Amino acid sequence: MKQPDCIFCNIDQDNFILKNDLAYIIKDKYPHSRGHLLIIPFEHEENYFELGKKTRDAMNDLLIIAKKDCDEKYQPSGYNVSVNIGRSAGQVVMHAHLHLIPRYSKSNDI
Ligand code: AMP
Ligand code: ZN
């Protein structure tokens, strides 16, 4: 259920890059690199591992599309795909999400 005090439950749809039935993509507000995206389920669940398979599959579908788009737009030389689970692992927004972080040679990382 949508949580009134959760940032990712309350992102304005105008900011969605893409969505499907269960998840959406936005640009990270403080990107680690050019093209850093977040893939976020509509469902408010803190822990990625507690999400259902359909939701994880829907997030993965968006991840694959986003990666292809990023290849075309920015031609990065690599990617990090990451998910932080728990504050001790660096999770700051307690609504599960995947990071897609393109990586470049040092000179044009951002
Ligand atoms: P994490 O440490 O995995 O919880 O990462 C949360 C991410 O959300 C960080 O990379 C933030 O830069 C990003 N973030 C926080 N607030 C917003 C927002 N309003 N819109 C987009 N990204 C955000
Ligand atoms: Zn939420």
Instruction: Tell me the three-class secondary structure of the chain, residue by residue.
Output: CCCCCCHHHCCCHHHCCEECCCEEEEECCCCCCCCCEEEEECCCCCCHHHCCHHHHHHHHHHHHHHHHHHHHHHCCCEEEEECCCCHHHCCCCCCCCEEEEEECCHHHCC
Q: Tell me: pLDDT of 109 over 90.
A: no
pLDDT above 90 (res 51) = yes
Q: Domain for residue 2, yes or no?
A: no
- In this structure, is residue 69 part of a structural domain? yes
Closest listed ligand to the CA of 33: 1
Residue 19 lies in a domain: yes
Residue-number span of the structural domain to which 18 is assigned: 13-103
Ligand 1 near 1 CB (within 6 A): no
- Indicate whether residue 98 lines ligand 1 (CB < 6 A): no
pTM tops 0.85: yes
Compute, in angstroms, the gap from residue 22 CA to the centroid of ligand 2: 13
- Per the document, the length of the chain is 110
The percent of residues in the chain predicted with pLDDT above 70, rounded, is 95
Establish if 110 belongs to a structural domain.
no
CATH of the domain at 32: 3.30.428.10
Q: Does position 106 have pLDDT exceeding 90, yes or no?
A: no
Specify if 1 maps to a domain.
Answer: no
Q: What is the reported pLDDT for 94?
A: 98
pLDDT above 70: residue 26: yes
Q: How far, in Å, from the CA of 10 to the mean position of ligand 2?
A: 7
pLDDT in the model for residue 52: 98
Q: Confirm whether 8 is domain-assigned.
A: no
* pLDDT higher than 70, residue 110: no
Does the residue 74 lie in any domain?
yes
- At 29-49, the pLDDT tens digits run 999 999 999 999 999 999 999
The residue whose CA is least distant from atom 15 of ligand 1 is 29
What pLDDT, on a 0 to 100 scale, did the predictor assign at position 92? 98
Closest atom of ligand 1 to 84 CA is 3
Number of domains comprising the chain: 1
pLDDT at 1: 85
Q: Is residue 70 part of a domain?
A: yes
| Residues less than 5 Å from ion ligand 2, measured at CB | 3, 6, 8-9, 44, 95
